A and B are shown apart, each in its own frame.
Chain A
Amino acid sequence: MRVLVIILLMLAALPARGEEVIAGLSQNRVSLTVNFEGSEILIYGAVRRDGPLPEGPLDVVISVEGPPLPAVIWRKARRAGIWVNTESQEVRAAPSYYAVASTAPLRDILSPDADLTHRISTRLAIFEARTAPEARDPAAFTEALIRIREDEGLYQSRENAVALERDTLFSTRMTLPKNIVEGRYAARVFLVREGDVIDVFETVIDVQKAVLERWLFNLAYQQPFLYGLLALGLAVFFGWGASAAFRLMR
């Protein structure tokens, strides 16, 4: 009897077959040019199905994840009257940008298991380091990380931001703020039915510094001595040149 129930449950949990998601982006490249002020990317797509429309609600979840980086989170405390960084906690990897948009609140449409498998909600996208046993309240540090990045527009959790028409066509807009770092951004589109992910579409957005910025950044890190000479050369040229020019004008 028990075996029968389990089999029935497993059958029920099995994804409804024959539904596939196809998606596209308004742009696959973002260039961090001199006057970059942030960018908006339209993500759109459709659900392809062979058979008739299955029963039950269909949901779409879209996430965009920037390159993960290690981070140190500091907590200030008052020491001798002034506020000083006193405690810190490391995070093994936290996405430098993470936006998740969905047709409904994530907790209503996604089972915890599916969330964990695909690491969809912001909290699960962050890989915490093993915390030291003496650490007080380690969760507060991760929460602070999310809160600070949400304030900066780097983390976005936008429920009901995906428009789904006739269970087939969907679209949403993702905003990339001006302070994003460069790298490969993974965009994922999840098709969700009854709490489970039944199909995933993945693509990449390439965020790169524009030619000049790229060149300066590489020079600074790979040829720091030359870069320093360049900085000095420019300072001497502009500092001396400008006053010479003003003298000529007089």
Chain B
Amino acid sequence: MQIYLPIAETSVNAFTLLGVGGGVGMLSGMFGVGGGFLITPLLFFIGVPPAVAVATGVNQVVASSISGVLAHLKRKTVDLRMGLVLLLGGLIGSVIGIWFFNLMQRLGQIDLIVQLSYVIFLGIIGALMFNESLRAILRSKNPNAPRRKLHTHIWLHNLPFKMKFRASGLYISVFPPLLVGVGVGILAAVMGVGGGFVLVPAMIYLLGMPTKVVIGTSLFQVTFVAAFTTMAHAVTNQSVDVMLAIFLILGGVVGAQIGTRVGLRLKAEQLRILLALLVLAVCAKIAFDLLWTPSELYSITIPGRF
């Protein structure tokens, strides 16, 4: 069954959309990742214009993280103060990202920018994940291996404007979290992702936050930055497709429920390697498209449309 997308102005198969939403939802349920970094490139592959894929992807992130953030707020596993600083940075980053996005769209280079950022980020994330899970497997086989020290103070934390983050047990400068927030906000606007895949490691390794508040706080930041970015895309370039979003969300929420249950029964390390390989495969496909001589050297853009 074909579905006509009123903003993208084309039809795509409804079951493909539900499949993309459901498949990525399952992965996000299994691994606790948002999945925006897989949804957006998969939408490119099925022929949704990149600008629409990015803006609609970020709308989908709101849906996939809202119930998580509510649950964490109830359990009080959100460092609200840290969350607000990260959020402030995120909003600044989102504004920068939207400006850059619209500029590149006017210059006819937005597809390239989005694809390039995906190659870079998926490449890094995939390699890190692969490495990490390989080491986790080795560690589980050799329990005497040395463990990594969790919280170390680095010079970044000693910048001026120090602030107490009680829930995280931190007393550090506001600049590192602010800058992390800005970076994540830019990613959200340009790539249509929540940015959790950058935010979570940054919170653990760079800010030194305790793991128990990391997920809740990152979801808090991601939800609000994604909501703001959705509004910004809708208002400045009209590229949010509600019809597309509904199908992705419906597939996504059902997939996430299934994924959560499946994930409980499977071995995490091996699964993580599979996810890493999937991420690397998507990265390779986009990179291949950029590097390989295209069969059609020309492309058409219509000013004011996608």
Contact = CB atoms under 8 A, between A and B. Distances in A.
A76 B227 contact: no
B249 A238 contact: yes
Interface size class of A (residues with CB under 8 A): 35 or more
Contact of A72 (B11, B67, B108, B249): B108
B298 A83 contact: no
B302 A71 contact: yes
Contacts of A224: 234-236, 238
Interface in B250-306: 250, 253-254, 256-257, 290-294, 296-303, 305
A228 B298 contact: no
Given A213-B6, A240-B66, A242-B254, A75 B297 contact: yes
A178 interface: yes
Contact of A232 (B231, B250, B303): B231
Given A71-B302, A141-B298, A145-B300, A228 B250 contact: no
A228 B301 contact: no
A242 B4 contact: no
Nearest to B66: A239
Nearest to A214: B6
B66 A235 contact: yes
Interface stretch (A27-35, A47-55, A161-169): A27-35
B109 interface: yes
A86 to B, nearest CB: 10
A57 interface: no
B218 interface: no
A85 B296 CA distance: 12
A148 B298 CA distance: 8
Given A34-B243, A83-B294, A239 B234 contact: no
Contacts of A81: 291
Contacts of A32: 4
A74 B243 contact: no
Contacts of B66: 235-236, 239-240
A184 to B, nearest CB: 16
B245 A213 contact: no
Given A37-B2, A76-B294, A242 B253 contact: yes
Nearest to B68: A243
A234 B4 contact: no
Contacts of B294: 76, 83
Contacts of A85: 108-109, 112, 299
Interface string B130-166: 0000000000000000000000000000000000000
Contacts of A179: 9-11
Contact of B250 (A151, A178, A238): A238
25 contacts: A36-B4, A36-B11, A37-B2, A69-B302, A70-B302, A72-B108, A72-B301, A74-B298, A74-B299, A76-B297, A82-B112, A82-B116, A82-B291, A84-B112, A145-B298, A149-B300, A178-B10, A179-B11, A213-B6, A220-B238, A227-B238, A232-B62, A235-B249, A238-B63, A242-B253
Given A35-B2, A227-B238, A244-B67, 8 more contacts: A70-B302, A72-B108, A82-B290, A227-B242, A228-B235, A234-B245, A243-B253, A243-B257
Which 10 A-B pairs have CB atoms at the shortest separation, nearest pair first?
A239-B63, A228-B234, A144-B298, A242-B253, A243-B67, A235-B63, A213-B6, A235-B62, A228-B231, A178-B11
